A and B are shown apart, each in its own frame.
Chain A
């Protein structure tokens, strides 16, 4: 697992794209898509959460608990997707998913 997924939802400038932001591009608030202004932290991960979309019912419990805010909703299916550039692999989402839809896959197997 690596790299960006679903570029179409990324319409705003990101630090990961190497864009330098002006003051005017800084939001007034601290609610934005994951990684708008931070460097990626994917390298922290030793396990990767993978979502079984057949099980996911889009309840977004994982979003509420994700400490990196890197869970988002797929506009087409209403189910969740994960921004792996910013997922640190903590596994909280997998632990509390009531549908058992998320499993942690160990790296280097």
Chain B
């Protein structure tokens, strides 16, 4: 059914189609309407799930983990400070190998207080052991809700999954979205079956302590499982295309990079604007391209290096800054290039912090600066004379 809905509502429909057993959440802008919609679906009988209103985000994820430990399919959603409040529990879910699916509405972090979108909340938590996906539109948010469970619950992966959506720009804007039938969703997504649960027939210890030497091995296994997710994501997207007729592009998207000289690397909603500028520049004869990173973990290092091989200059545009160094996406991209032995000129463009607008003109300026030998680290809209160095 094609309908005109917000990004949050689209995601809620995706979760409804995944038939979670337990949903636990605490409201926070701009995530709130996701759980409002799910709550309404539960009360209207359109979704048979236990909806638990908890007293904090720490409890929201703890509840999802506890429910997952009974073998239930679980969902929670949060944003910004809420995600940070969950930080302790993020490790519990990942280390315990509980395949919780969470939507995070990307929002700036305090202080100064601000409710608008940047990606510093989730980028600061890359090391927590969660798969991190960044979507670009409402349809993708819905579709990836189903893909998320399929990947997270796969016995080769068993790793929690964070679906990131840019706050307001994606969560609160309306688009035409195709809501698939339940029958198709059921064909794509099998039931969750696991031994990782309280079992009354064969009671086991859950979430136990492990001393130093064996603990190290558990962490090694966790790392292996996250890497295996790359293959499982590809399989899931192939199957998704067969069932629903929509094909996604895997860990990254290569938009007109094959013969590109200048490429901007993006994450999330700003990709649409960059894609449009790439088309304009191509009409003007500039060999511009866009490389969109969809998954920050597991990190697509080989895919990124392959696409950027032979490119003259790369600009990494991101809504994140690791104070005292550079943007974290930039660090990761440079690492991928270095591992592949590529010496491509790269520079970093920090934009959109606290929800600041990123304009078409600024994207054109980035491409222009790639053609000259510009600064390594740039903040969009900050004049050159304002830098200390």
Contact = CB atoms under 8 A, between A and B. Distances in A.
Interface in A28-51: 28-39
B206 A31 contact: yes
Contacts of A94: none
B194 A23 contact: no
Given A21-B217, A26-B218, A30-B95, A71 B203 contact: yes
B197 interface: yes
B32 to A, nearest CB: 32
A90 interface: no
Give the interface size bracket for A toward B. 20 to 34
Contacts of B218: 26, 30
B208 A30 contact: yes
Given A23-B220, A29-B97, A38 B195 contact: no
B211 A29 contact: no
A37 B200 CA distance: 22
Contacts of B195: 29, 31
Interface string A1-40: 0000000000000010000010100101111111111110
Given A37-B208, A38-B208, A30 B97 contact: yes
Given A15-B211, A15-B214, A30-B95, A68 B205 contact: yes
Interface in B200-221: 200-211, 214, 217-218, 220-221
B229 to A, nearest CB: 13
A72 to B, nearest CB: 5
Interface of A: 15, 21, 23, 26, 28-39, 60, 63-64, 68-73, 86
Decide if the interface of chain A is mainly helix, strand, loop or mixed.
loop
Nearest to A23: B217
Contacts, number: 82
A28 B225 contact: yes
A79 B104 CA distance: 44
A37 B158 contact: no
Given A69-B205, A70-B205, A26 B200 contact: no
Nearest to B158: A28
A87 B337 CA distance: 52
B174 interface: no
Q: Which 9 A-B residue pairs are closest in the complex by CB-CB distance? A: A69-B205, A29-B196, A34-B205, A37-B214, A37-B210, A63-B203, A26-B217, A31-B204, A31-B196
A33 B199 CA distance: 11
18 contacts: A21-B217, A23-B221, A28-B225, A29-B97, A29-B158, A29-B196, A31-B69, A31-B198, A31-B199, A31-B206, A37-B214, A60-B200, A63-B203, A69-B205, A69-B206, A69-B208, A71-B203, A72-B203
Contacts of A36: 205, 208
Given A32-B205, A69-B205, 15 more contacts: A15-B211, A21-B217, A26-B221, A28-B97, A29-B194, A30-B206, A30-B208, A33-B205, A34-B204, A37-B211, A38-B209, A38-B211, A72-B203, A72-B204, A73-B202
Nearest to A71: B203
Nearest to A33: B204
B96 interface: yes
Contacts of B155: 28
A64 B220 CA distance: 29
B340 to A, nearest CB: 28
A42 to B, nearest CB: 14
Contacts of A72: 203-204
A69 B208 CA distance: 8
A58 to B, nearest CB: 9
Contacts of A23: 217, 220-221
A28 B221 contact: yes
Nearest to B199: A31
